[in-house]
């Protein structure tokens, strides 16, 4: 399992921002000709209430005797196995695991990731931008899920390859699409329902604990540079968007309302961004702030309302990780408020 050092973490953040930009180019995927004249077509209409969804009506063509299907995706039709078994996947690893499939190949997994113990026997192909076609081919995948369009072109000769634009699709759209590709529609529907049931349970717990009255900050970094997270990604998205927790006024006005991901601030103004509770994404080699005068002057720190959250847990946006993040944040906040009374 990968440990995250300071230098590595900076590289990760830079790569992540690059991914979020390049994903907008994730457009047309190559279509494959079925090559038969005896197709049996089954059309399943999407719910009318989701007519504006980015996932279009699913048209699946079962090809008798070939063991493949044609699945319509936002990026075009693609021929995939009826029941893919050997999946290689970049970044959204937990989406595949949530549907009951352990991949044969994955991009790097950082220490603390929610599913890290489930992929100890899975081949780590490294950072997605460094995947080697020959190493991937040796795994004999029958479906490849990537997060940048250029990798569709790079790997489509090895196996059917689909670009999943995780920053453009909603969680429901993404899981439904992957469910179609894996021929696990029921599992996808169940995963979505269970996610929302878990989310509502967590929100109820937080309300009962009085968290509608508190503000929450998410910090990452150290003495030279502290990053304050908005509501676009990771722990910030879970806390503010999913759980509906309140951000401090300065975070709301300077980051969230400006549609920003994050803002780097100096220690001199850090108190302005500090909420009643602080969650700090932690990683190997981060600065020890326990003796810092400014840090210790923040009310949340003085009142023991501070939570360390492993960077690896906070980094991933798949549904498996999101459930784990919801559970961690909820229980950690409730424990912190109880211990500080």
Are β-strands 123-124 and 105-106 bridged in parallel, bridged antiparallel, or unpaired? parallel
Domain assignment present for residue 272? The answer is yes
* Claim to verify: residue 222 and residue 172 sit in the same structural domain: no
Q: What percent of the chain has pLDDT over 70?
A: 81
Task: Supply the mean pLDDT for the chain.
Answer: 85
Domain assignment present for residue 193? The answer is no
Q: Are 178 and 55 in contact (CB under 8 A)?
A: no
Look at residues 71, 337, 45, 57 and name the one whose alpha carbon lies nearest to residue 213.
337
Last residue of a domain, one of 122, 149, 183: 183
Domain coverage including residue 143: 6-183
Domain assignment present for residue 27? The answer is yes
* Claim to verify: residue 171 and residue 207 sit in the same structural domain: no
224 falls in which pLDDT band (50, 70, 90)? confident
Nearby residues of 332 by Cβ (< 8 Å), 6 or more positions away? 279, 307, 309
* Claim to verify: residue 240 and residue 264 sit in the same structural domain: yes
Domain assignment present for residue 188? The answer is no
* Claim to verify: residue 145 and residue 255 sit in the same structural domain: no
Residue 284: per-residue pLDDT: 87
- Return d(Cα 115, Cα 24) in angstroms, integer: 27
Is residue 53 over pLDDT 90?
no
Is residue 15 over pLDDT 70?
no
* Claim to verify: residue 28 and residue 154 sit in the same structural domain: yes
Could you report the per-residue pLDDT of 62-72, keeping only the tens digit for each?
Answer: 444 349 999 99
Residue 167: per-residue pLDDT: 84
State the number of CA atoms in the 13 A half-sphere of 249 facing the CB: 1
> 219: exposed, middle or buried (C-beta count within 10 Å: 0-12, 13-18, 19+)?
buried
* Claim to verify: residue 211 and residue 315 sit in the same structural domain: yes
- CATH label of the domain that carries residue 261: 3.40.50.1980
Residue 215: per-residue pLDDT: 98
Q: Are 60 and 286 in contact (CB under 8 A)?
A: no
Residue 189: per-residue pLDDT: 98
Domain assignment present for residue 91? The answer is yes
Domain assignment present for residue 226? The answer is yes
What angle separates helix 185-208 from helix 319-339, to the nearest 10 degrees? 10
* Claim to verify: residue 151 and residue 264 sit in the same structural domain: no
Q: Which two tokens stand for residue 61?
A: 């063509």
Query: What letter would DSSP give residue 215?
Result: B
Look at residues 100, 109, 333, 340 and name the one whose alpha carbon lies nearest to residue 238.
333
* Claim to verify: residue 127 and residue 253 sit in the same structural domain: no
Domain assignment present for residue 1? The answer is no
* Claim to verify: residue 223 and residue 156 sit in the same structural domain: no
Report H helices in 182-285.
Answer: 185-208, 234-236, 249-251
DSSP line for 167-204: TTS-HHHHHHHHHHHTT-HHHHHHHHHHHHHHHHHHHH
* Claim to verify: residue 228 and residue 157 sit in the same structural domain: no
- Return d(Cα 276, Cα 301) in angstroms, integer: 9
* Claim to verify: residue 216 and residue 96 sit in the same structural domain: no
* Claim to verify: residue 157 and residue 221 sit in the same structural domain: no
How many domains, the chain? 2
- Return d(Cα 256, Cα 240) in angstroms, integer: 10
Domain assignment present for residue 244? The answer is yes
**pTM, rounded to two decimals:** 0.82
């Amino acid at each position: 399992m990968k440990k995250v050092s300071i230098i590595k973490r900076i590289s990760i953040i830079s790569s992540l921002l690059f991914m979020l930009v390049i994903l907008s180019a994730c457009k047309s995927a190559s279509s494959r000709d079925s090559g038969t004249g005896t197709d049996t077509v089954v059309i399943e209409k999407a719910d009318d209430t989701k007519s504006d969804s980015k996932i279009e009506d699913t048209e699946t063509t079962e090809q008798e005797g070939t063991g493949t299907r044609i699945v319509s995706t936002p990026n075009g039709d693609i021929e995939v196995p009826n029941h893919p078994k050997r999946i290689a996947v970049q970044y959204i690893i937990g989406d595949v695991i949530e549907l009951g499939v352990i991949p044969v190949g994955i991009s790097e997994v950082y220490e603390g990731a929610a599913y890290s113990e489930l992929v100890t026997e899975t081949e780590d192909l490294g950072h997605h931008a460094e995947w080697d076609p020959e190493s991937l081919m040796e795994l004999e995948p029958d479906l490849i899920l990537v997060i940048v369009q250029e990798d569709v072109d790079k790997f489509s000769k090895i196996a059917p390859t689909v670009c999943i634009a995780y920053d453009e699709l909603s969680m429901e759209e993404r899981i439904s699409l992957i469910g179609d590709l894996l021929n696990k529609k029921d599992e996808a529907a169940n995963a979505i329902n269970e996610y929302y049931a878990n989310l509502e349970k967590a929100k109820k717990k937080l309300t009962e604990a009085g968290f509608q009255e508190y503000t929450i900050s998410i910090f990452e970094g150290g003495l030279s540079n502290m990053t304050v997270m908005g509501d676009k990604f990771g722990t910030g998205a879970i806390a503010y968007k999913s759980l509906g927790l309140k951000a401090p006024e300065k975070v709301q006005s300077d980051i969230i309302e400006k549609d920003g991901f994050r803002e780097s601030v100096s220690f001199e103004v850090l108190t302005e961004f500090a909420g009643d509770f602080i969650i700090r994404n932690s990683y190997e080699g981060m600065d020890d702030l326990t003796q810092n005068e400014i840090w210790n002057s923040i009310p949340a720190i003085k009142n023991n309302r501070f939570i360390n959250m492993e960077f690896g847990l906070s980094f991933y946006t798949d549904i498996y990780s999101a459930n784990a993040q919801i559970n961690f944040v909820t229980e950690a906040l409730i424990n912190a408020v109880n211990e500080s009374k």
